[in-house]
Structure 1
Amino acid sequence: MTIAELSDRAADTTARLLPALAERWSPRAFDATASVDEEKLTAALEAARWSPSASNTQPWRFIVARRGSAAFRAIEENLMGFNKAWAGSASVLIVALAEMVDPDGNERRWAKYDLGQAVAHLSVQAHHDGLHVHQMGGFDVNGLRDAFDIEERLLPVSVTALGTLGDPDALPEALRERELAPRTRNSLDDLLVVNA
């Protein structure tokens, strides 16, 4: 499968979706030579900034690291499992942090939910602008805390790789197979607990 074929993997949906939603997917093959367009990166971060949150508290923070920087290396060193094999080819690695406690010490039990919305908005805007993202949960939380001196009230929840598509043949075989496999999802009926 060519890079052009990979970039056109629209989901088979039961209802018509916005193209940026239907076409969005999470690659592992990133172009290790491409740098991200700063305007597009800013737009993705701005989309996250303007996502909804409970009482407009905006309980999200981000560590944004471009390939080649010390911050990028620190994030890459704290990735786990298969993530170490591919994520270093992305143009940018972004650590998503949830503000679990506000500056006054009050719990923000919805912070992870709101952060998830912010990262979803980031991913849709990035895809709209021709970039791709892949979100990861496999990383060393304490390693990132130490590397960036992250306050205890902020919780590293995910790491997002962002960049342009690369050649899937550059991936290890097991990851290449997953990269090229057909996209699948549970049926909509399987997801609806009640639909009255």
Structure 2
Amino acid sequence: MTTGLHSDAVRALRDWSVADADQEQLRLDYLGHLAERPDGLWRACLPAHITASAVVVDPSAGRVLLTLHPKVGIWLQMGGHCEPGDRTLASAALREATEESGIQGLELLAVDGVPAPVKLDRHLVRCAGKDQPENTHLDVQYVALAPAGAEEQISEESLDLRWFDFDKLPELTDVSVRELVAIARKLTS
């Protein structure tokens, strides 16, 4: 049985127009996953499930907020698993960004008044535990705009939480995060 969140995820991915061939293939793969799996948004869906994330930016200061992830050991955007209370994929991303940043008043970047993804990223993780096989996160990534001068508050889900200048990302950041930050910078400049 599909949920409103499932229907929204299909709509968000179907309506998202992508110029990049690799991103288009991921978009089609994600839609195929959702067509085959009514449970495709939930953590229990293995070997893959949709996740939602948002890179938090303060465009007025030219900075991005990243979290040092305790399980992965690198700096990432805020994000995670969808929860039953999430009505839309965008609201899942916004909830995660708010919880992990401690910043109230975040707003997702919108296209024609509707929050829209900016990037997709498929990666292997061990979210079921160290002794469990890896599974795949099909991450749908958004940009969250922080109010000017916003101050972060670290949560228990992070080893560290810091603002970085767009041009001075930490060494322990992967290519995917660097690409996401570059997209966010371009869209908010």
Q: Kindly indicate whether structure 1 or structure 2 has the higher relative contact order, using CA contacts under 8 Å at least 6 residues apart.
A: 1
Higher share of residues assigned strand: 2
TM superposition score normalised by structure 2? 0.28
Q: Which of the pair has more CA radius of gyration?
A: 1
Higher share of residues assigned helix: 1
